[in-house]
Amino acid sequence: MINFFRKNKRFVSEKGFKENAKHQSEMNGQTLGVLSQHGVTELSELKLDYSFYTNKKEKAEELNSELKTKQYETSDIVKEKKYWRIHGWTRKIKMDNNSIDNWTTEMCQLGYKHDCEFDGWGTIPQQDENIVVPEELSEMDCFDKGLEFWNNSEFEKSEAYYSRAIELNPNKSSFYYNRGIARGSRKNLIGEIEDYNKALGINPDYEEVYCNRGAANDELGNYQEALNDYNQSIKLNPDKSTSYRNMGNTFYRIGEKEKACEQWKKALELGDKSVKKIIEQYCE
């Protein structure tokens, strides 16, 4: 058990723990609301994808050991710059407000016990138990199969193979990026954004991730987050027309027509002919 009286300053203060516990509780209702749009009800039971962060490997190992006693499916530790991330999947949990609130409270308390911060959860609305990925496949075999299935619009299989690639090597940003795309194709926007966040945690200069995360945030109605993502994408690649086009769409949705037209015209200058009719209709 962690000794709370160690000389080093705690990673998670008592105030930070209480604020995070409150934040997680508030987020639960929003997340469940979005999941309900994809067929998840209070009677549904789903496995949840969780994350914690801390500043010392030994703290991460202690927490991970306790998480494994809960017989969660996977639980591993990944180094991300100066932090350590604990990530895994739970057993099935009932998706009603009370059960989720109780679980997130337990996770916050467990994280605080080991001086780790609970970073939240996600899930996949449609969880197919029948997709079996051959154990003999390497991480790149799984990645290639995931891409093949995605190209054939077999998105559940694609996601399953990308997930296996991540289990074999959780340190590749491209694995999370591609699984995020597969999740987005299944309209799992929360899971999609979660994977993009993980990809950026490994490679913060992954321009394509910002552009895609912006689109997912826009679809969820997180317009300011979408604009921030597009700006970062443009900063990393100022010649990418998609980012300007998408930013124009977001500005239009929030009533900033003049700014929307500026972005659409910039996209057209960069060769995106798809915005030509939009400009003719809304900007001239």
What confidence score (pLDDT) does residue 128 get?
61
What confidence score (pLDDT) does residue 5 get?
40
What confidence score (pLDDT) does residue 274 get?
93
For the chain, residues with pLDDT lower than 50 are 1-7
Hey, what domains does the chain have and what are their CATH numbers?
14-123 (3.30.70.970), 139-282 (1.25.40.10)
Sheet with 83-94, side-by-side order of all strands: 74-80, 83-94, 45-54, 117-123
**Distance between CA atoms of residues 65 and 158, nearest Å:** 30
By CB neighbour count within 10 A (0-12 exposed, 13-18 middle, 19+ buried), where does 61 fall? middle
Do residues 104 and 24 make contact, with C-beta atoms less than 8 angstroms apart? yes
**Distance between CA atoms of residues 52 and 111, nearest Å:** 7
Among candidates 259, 268, 276, which has minimal Cα distance to 223?
259
- The model's pTM is 0.61
- List C-alpha distances in Å: 50 to 17, 104, 128: 17, 10, 19
What confidence score (pLDDT) does residue 2 get?
42
- pLDDT 10s digits, 116-153: 999 999 888 877 656 889 999 999 999 999 999 999 98
What confidence score (pLDDT) does residue 156 get?
85
